[in-house]
């Protein structure tokens, strides 16, 4: 929906124990049908937008790793120094990958 993308750490129960910085659109429009058949049309921003993109990727057979910065891939037990930052800018600088 928007032109603005943002990178942040993501993990997934399909790939337990790992996280990587994954670029996502900051704002998305969700159109769907809910469990009772009612139309859903919402604009989501931030964390809800990231979650919707992550989950709808699964419907297309994609995992976050398909678009993650693999240089940022880290085991959960080693991720604390990076994920405590409010953005992955320090990790990108140290590990050598570009953020959107």
Q: b/e per residue, 39-59, with b = 16+ CB within 10 A?
A: eeeeebeeeebbebbbeebee
Rounded Cα distance, 98 and 100, in Å:
7
Catalytic site residue from 10, 35, 55, 89: 55
Give the tokens for residue 45: 């921003």
Active site residue 55: yes
Catalytic residues: 55
């Amino acid at each position: 929906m928007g032109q603005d993308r943002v990178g942040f750490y993501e993990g997934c129960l399909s790939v337990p124990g790992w996280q990587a910085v994954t670029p996502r659109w900051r704002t998305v429009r969700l159109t769907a049908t809910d469990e009772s058949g009612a139309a859903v049309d919402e604009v989501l921003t931030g964390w809800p937008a990231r979650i919707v993109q992550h989950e709808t990727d699964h419907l297309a057979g994609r995992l976050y790793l398909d678009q993650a910065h693999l240089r940022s891939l880290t085991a959960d037990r080693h991720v604390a120094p990076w994920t405590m930052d409010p953005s992955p800018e320090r990790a990108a600088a140290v590990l050598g990958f570009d953020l959107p």
